[in-house]
């Protein structure tokens, strides 16, 4: 009985919500934990679930030492699921109203200096097909602030050399257009016209960036590539694709870019998500003041 509604909800996320595969997988994991908990406690219908059972479950989850971010995502998944159950009349009460998200831990984004970015972008050996590809990927990632999931799904037709932009699809399959600078365009042109054919095996594939087997890269595959170049460039920061995304936004803001334009390029639904970069800029101003003002020390 429990599984039927779970399967219906998964289909709802895919078809009606258009959620990304990563979001669907995360929500499935969170709801399956609840489902297994209910089975262990001999609960076989969602109608039997009430706020007291839900609170007991959340208390059990709280003992597992999950981060606030993971807890928040877990609550978001449950809220979405119980709202679905209520709207589809699988439950008489909307238990989503009983759930409160924990306050997220506020961490300022980690970003690279311009010098570190330059060293990273210079690390690939463009004389090899893989190095040529990696140079193009890194240049595109820094030029656009894309998420890694967006980068590995870019198709060749999504890049416009004439209009200097790339089209990508973000969370919820939302399409956006992001400008490309001359360095990224040059690296992409070299990869597409001189290197990509050396990696391709299936002439039908539309994916732009390919691995040595001629298939699209995975997130894990790109992660390993990035880590290796970070080490080669002597970068001490824990380098992840999101660090380049943060670097893109921070460097744009520091050089006078409009916050709304950055929001649009990053694909943030809420300007509040983008505003965290203003805190970084505030820190930078304070540091410069303390270093430069004669009476700051």
30 neighbors 77 (Cβ within 8 angstroms)? yes
Q: Can 242 be counted among the known catalytic residues?
A: yes
State the Cα–Cα distance between residues 73 and 76, nearest whole angstrom: 5
DSSP label at 162? T
Q: Can 55 be counted among the known catalytic residues?
A: no
Closest CA to 72 of 106, 43, 42, 109: 106
20 neighbors 169 (Cβ within 8 angstroms)? no
Active-site annotation holder among 167, 190, 198, 268? 268
Q: Can 193 be counted among the known catalytic residues?
A: no
The token duo for 91 is 């439950």
Q: Name every residue whose Cβ is closer than 8 Å to that of residue 245 and which is 6 or more positions away in sequence.
A: 141, 145, 146, 147, 266
Q: Can 245 be counted among the known catalytic residues?
A: yes
Active-site annotation holder among 147, 196, 246, 251? 147
Q: Can 174 be counted among the known catalytic residues?
A: no
Active-site annotation holder among 171, 190, 198, 219? 171
Helix (H, G, I), strand (E, B) or coil at 166: strand
Active-site annotation holder among 133, 196, 245, 246? 245
State the Cα–Cα distance between residues 108 and 91, nearest whole angstrom: 40
Q: Can 229 be counted among the known catalytic residues?
A: no
Active-site annotation holder among 142, 191, 229, 277? 277
| Strands 165-169 vs 175-179: parallel, antiparallel or unpaired | antiparallel
Active-site annotation holder among 242, 289, 293, 297? 242
The token duo for 118 is 């330059």
248 neighbors 143 (Cβ within 8 angstroms)? yes
Catalytic positions, written as ranges: 147, 171, 242, 245, 268, 277
């Amino acid at each position: 009985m429990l599984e039927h509604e779970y399967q219906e909800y998964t289909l709802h996320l895919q078809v009606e919500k258009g959620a990304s595969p990563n979001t669907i997988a995360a929500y499935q994991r969170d709801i399956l934990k609840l489902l297994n908990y209910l089975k262990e406690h001999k609960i076989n219908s969602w109608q039997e679930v009430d706020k007291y059972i839900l609170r007991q479950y959340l208390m059990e989850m709280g003992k597992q030492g999950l981060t606030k971010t993971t807890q928040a995502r877990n609550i978001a998944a449950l809220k979405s699921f119980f709202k679905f159950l209520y709207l589809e009349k699988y439950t008489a009460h909307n238990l989503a109203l009983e759930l409160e998200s924990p306050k997220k831990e506020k961490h300022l984004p980690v970003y690279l200096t311009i010098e570190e970015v330059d060293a990273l972008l210079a690390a690939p050996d463009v004389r090899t097909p893989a190095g040529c590809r990696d140079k193009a990927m890194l240049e595109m990632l820094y030029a656009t602030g894309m998420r890694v999931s967006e980068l590995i799904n870019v198709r060749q037709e999504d890049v416009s050399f004439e209009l200097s932009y790339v089209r990508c699809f973000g969370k919820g399959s939302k399409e956006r257009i992001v400008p490309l600078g001359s360095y990224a365009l040059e690296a992409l042109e070299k990869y597409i016209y001189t290197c990509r054919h050396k990696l391709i095996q299936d002439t039908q594939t539309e994916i732009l960036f390919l691995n040595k087997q001629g298939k699209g890269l995975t997130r894990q595959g790109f992660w390993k590539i990035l880590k290796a170049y970070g080490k080669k460039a002597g970068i001490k920061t824990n380098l992840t694709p999101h660090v380049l995304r943060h670097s893109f936004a921070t460097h744009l803001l520091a050089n006078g870019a409009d916050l709304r334009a950055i929001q649009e390029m990053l694909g943030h639904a809420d300007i509040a998500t983008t505003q965290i970069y203003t805190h970084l800029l505030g820190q930078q101003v304070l540091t410069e003041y303390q270093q430069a003002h004669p009476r700051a020390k």
